[in-house]
Amino acid sequence: MGNLPLGPEVDPWPRPLPARTPIAGVHVSLEPLHRRHTDELFEAMRGADESFTYMSYGPFGTKAELGKWIAASAAVHDPMFWAVRPVATGMASGWLSLMEIEPVHAAIELGNIWFSPRLQRTRAATEAMYLLLKRAGDELGYRRLVWKCNALNAASIRAAHRLGFTPEGVLRAHKVVKGCQRDTAMFSITAAEWPNRRDAMAAWLAPENFGHDGTAKQGLAAFRG
């Protein structure tokens, strides 16, 4: 290797795989995705076909079609899916996953996020993402937390910035999705950045940040300093 530069030395131990277990929050519960969620999720997606525009699957025309996809998705370890059940409604209203899991490189992605219209832009939605990021970053010790999306998906790009992911650029002509070329926008949070991002999310979710009408007093970025 001579005198050629290398990156900083890191703990080389492979990180554990995520466990397929429930995760309880204040505003939301995450449940390992299962066929029993089919009825509630099919109801949650009524009239929301547009929300699947940038997903590689969906929309689902029938409950049987959704149930088949859920059964197949629940049977694999990567991506690993959780159904999202907000405490306020008690109804499963979306899903998300940990995916592209690379234990040797301590890298993992938060992705496959589908939130129904009634879940979007709620404390439950933010807490759902926060809980999975905490599992990956705190409990399992992954050094690289990844977010990627279609470069045309403005809502997903806004969400990545809001949560404190750092833009890494665009992979051009990266994939073919639903017969169309997809450029992929890449984002990450590294181990050095994670404590700040975690604490900001926790502060935003705190009861004192919300008024009596449920409106946040400060945006998430205000807590990152």
Percent of the chain with pLDDT over 70: 100
Per-residue pLDDT, averaged over 208-219, amounts to 94
Q: CA 166, CA 215: separation in Å to the nearest integer?
A: 26
C-alpha dist (Å) from residue 103 to 79, 85, 130, 145:
14, 28, 20, 12
Whether 9 maps to a domain, the answer reads: no
Q: At what angle do helices 123-134 and 194-205 cross, to 10 degrees?
A: 150
Q: What is the mean pLDDT of residues 126-152?
A: 98
Find the CATH number of the domain harbouring 166.
3.40.630.30
The verdict on residue 13 lying in a domain is no
Distance between CA atoms of residues 208 and 200, nearest Å: 14
Domain-embedded: residue 116: yes
The answer to the question of residue 8 being in a domain is: no
> Does 14 score more than 70 pLDDT?
yes
Mean pLDDT, residues 19-47: 97
pLDDT score of 1: 55
Q: What is the arithmetic mean of pLDDT over 46-66?
A: 97
pLDDT per residue as tens digits for the range 158-193: 999 999 999 999 999 999 999 999 999 999 999 999
Return mean pLDDT, the chain.
97
Residue 220 lies in a domain: no
Domain residue limits at 94: 23-208
Cβ–Cβ < 8 Å for 45, 51: yes
Is 14 among the domain residues?
A: no
Asked whether the beta carbons of 190 and 144 are under 8 A apart, the reply is yes
- Closest alpha carbon to 186 in 164, 163, 167, 173: 167
Which amino acid, 11? Answer: D
What are the angstrom distances between the C-alpha of 194 and each of 140, 158, 164? 13, 18, 9
Note whether residue 213 is domain-resident: no
pLDDT for position 2? 74
CA-nearest of 136, 167, 134, 132 to 149 is: 167
How many Cβ atoms are within 10 Å of 174's Cβ, its own excluded? 16
Q: Is 40 inside any structural domain?
A: yes
What pLDDT sits at residue 195?
98
Report the amino acid identity of residue 186: M
How many structural domains comprise the chain? Answer: 1
The per-residue pLDDT for 225 is 84
What pLDDT digit, counting tens, does each position of 66-104 carry?
Answer: 999 999 999 999 999 999 999 999 999 999 999 999 999
